[in-house]
A = this chain, B = another copy of it.
């Protein structure tokens, strides 16, 4: 009755269950604060079982990061394609999506990547990160500059990539968890985009 397909599904099931549980725990509490036993408990399995599906704790964390970043990459490229024309609306949609779907504390994530992973794994994650966050966001600002809707980079010293980082700084700051308050996230996103584009000053000085 149960063919090879079902077996694979079973294996995949626990595999996915581990990644999902580990995802939440790692992003909530940080790499160091999450024990393998706690991950196992959250999956309803015993701790050594983890080591049948993953070689070690870091491998679990890497898989968590990979899925997180791949999902974000796909979602952002979809949004950007859809709101291609209007830069302000496009920035808003992207900002809003990230606010809703990002890990609650990206600062924690960055720290874990930098302090808990060796150089090689860091390089891999950096590649994933650039594909999922930096490049999509930078592409928006690049188009804005090309269409002369944004200042010349030389004028203010902010190329598309550093503009992307500026917006990401606003988005990823504070350990905010907007997942349950969509309207609040909308307000925040609007504010961030307004400030990034027009600033707080009364007149367009300088």
Contact = CB atoms under 8 A, between A and B. Distances in A.
Interface of A: 29-30, 32-33, 88, 105-108, 110-111, 114-115, 141, 144, 148-151, 156-158, 162-163, 165-166, 168-170, 172-175, 187, 190-192, 194-206
Q: Is the interface of A mostly helix, strand, loop or mixed?
A: helix
A166 B188 CA distance: 11
A173 to B, nearest CB: 3
A125 B192 CA distance: 27
Nearest to A167: B200
Counting chain B CB atoms within 10 Å of each CB, the highest count among A33, A150, A162, A173 belongs to A173
* Integer count of this chain's copies in the complex: 2
A206 to B, nearest CB: 6
A169 to B, nearest CB: 3
Contact of A158 (B110, B166, B195): B195
Given A157-B191, A158-B191, A194-B156, A149 B201 contact: yes
